[in-house]
Structure 1
Amino acid sequence: MRLFVGLLPPPPACDELVLALEAHRPRWPGLRWLDPANWHVTLSFLGEVPDPALPELRARLADAAAHHAPMTLSLAGAGAFPSADRARVFLTGLEGDLPGLADLADHVGAEALAAGAGQTDHRRFIPHLSLARCRADTDLSPLVEAFGPFSGTAWEAGTMHLIRSNFGGGTRGGAEARYETVDEWPLTARTPRGQS
């Protein structure tokens, strides 16, 4: 199954973001706006994971979660990948305990790789939440600038999710994926990792 590990913002944070986007969406009808039910912050993309690797993966992810404390985060600002003037993805960023978030992402990636389920081309972690996609390179500079002042209410990220990507008809055709949590673990350390 096709999996990734992520954090899910709580409904109030998503509702706030939906409201903030209302004025911008009609001006950009060519974008494929992602369903808020699918919004997430990816910690580690795992890709296709063979069933025999799942027990060890679950055990290692549970252990990783136990070594990290809940963290305070908020959605804020705007950006685009790979760049605002040649964008394929429009996104909002995160603020708050970004060092703790990056540490968690690194730990999750290392544990997944050790379980035979991670990606060997480990990319630099960029905390974000994808909001819309473009079919071709698009200049989203005006949208990034207009949405840049957005600053959401802080929330506590206290649970890590193992999420399955389901594509309509079993292919990755044009349909948006549906995401399904297959397991979750609370972040239970009393202090952030590396602190006493």
Structure 2
Amino acid sequence: MPRLFTGLELPEAVAAKIALARGGLFGARWLDPADYHITLRFVGDVELQTARDIAEALSEIRRPPASVGFVGLSSFGGDKPRAIVAKVRGDATLIDLQAEQERRLRRIGVVPETRKFTPHVTLARLRGVRPHAVAGYLASRGALEVEAFVAGRFVLYSARAGSGGGPYVVEAAYPLG
């Protein structure tokens, strides 16, 4: 049973720039820059026939290339921080692409996503890291200076069985434009 999600790949140069923010936070599990991506729609564990249906539904999407810009570092989880992320500007083409995927997946019976779409790149997963340590890390890093890029495709990823983590495999790629 594959664990699937859709996303945008990052160019190597962009991933390398973002990776410079790694380190300096005790208790953080830093992701490999090769696994950096922007999740558009998490699907989860599905049967093989559902995976085929998802791949087919996604192949029908026709959207323009998505502009991707970064707006800084942040964390998710509030008083119980669980991730360090690079925030992505919510460009209209990116929001529309995610919404189209959500509509098409719902039509084929995939359970609706209940969380608000917040585009980001996860840099580290946190467990037991105190909020003041995260605040100190974020304050010490300053602005995230990474050049914007245009995504010419989105992909259907599968995650490693069990942990759901990387390395991620591109199962299918869909052109934009």
TM-score (norm 1): 0.81
Amino acid across the alignment from 2:168 = Y
SS for the counterpart of 1:160 is strand
Equivalenced residue count is 174
Write the deviation string for residues 33-53 of structure 1: whole angstroms up to 9, x where unpaired. 011111110000000121112
SS for the counterpart of 1:131 is strand
SS for the counterpart of 2:27 is coil
SS for the counterpart of 1:149 is coil
Q: Does 1:32 align with 2:25?
A: no
2:43: which partner in 1?
46
Write the deviation string for residues 12-41 of structure 1: whole angstroms up to 9, x where unpaired. 10111123x25xx1x213210011111110
TM-score (norm 2): 0.89
1:176, distance to aligned residue in structure 2 (A): 4.3
SS for the counterpart of 2:10 is coil
Q: Are the counterparts in 2 of residues 88 and 138 from structure 1 also a CA contact under 8 Å?
A: no
1:182: which partner in 2?
171
Task: Spell out the pairing of 1:3-152 with structure 2 (5 A cutoff).
Answer: 3-19=4-20, 21=21, 25=23, 27-64=24-61, 66=62, 68-83=63-78, 85-95=79-89, 98-116=91-109, 118-139=110-131, 140-152=134-146
Q: Are the counterparts in 2 of residues 18 and 36 from structure 1 also a CA contact under 8 Å?
A: yes
Q: Distance in 1 between matches of 2:11 and 2:83?
A: 22
Q: Are the counterparts in 1 of residues 14 and 146 from structure 2 also a CA contact under 8 Å?
A: yes
What 5-or-longer segments of structure 2 have no aligned partner?
none
Q: Distance in 2 between matches of 1:62 and 1:181?
A: 14
Q: Does 1:153 align with 2:147?
A: yes
RMSD over aligned CA atoms reads: 1.8
What 5-or-longer segments of structure 1 have no aligned partner?
189-196
Structure 1 residues 142 and 180, CA gap change in structure 2 (3 angstroms): same
Write the deviation string for residues 64-103 of structure 1: whole angstroms up to 9, x where unpaired. 2x1x1002212330111122x43110101113x6222111
Q: Distance in 1 between matches of 2:104 and 2:19?
A: 34
Q: Distance in 1 between matches of 2:105 and 2:135?
A: 36
Q: Are the counterparts in 1 of residues 3 and 44 from structure 2 also a CA contact under 8 Å?
A: yes
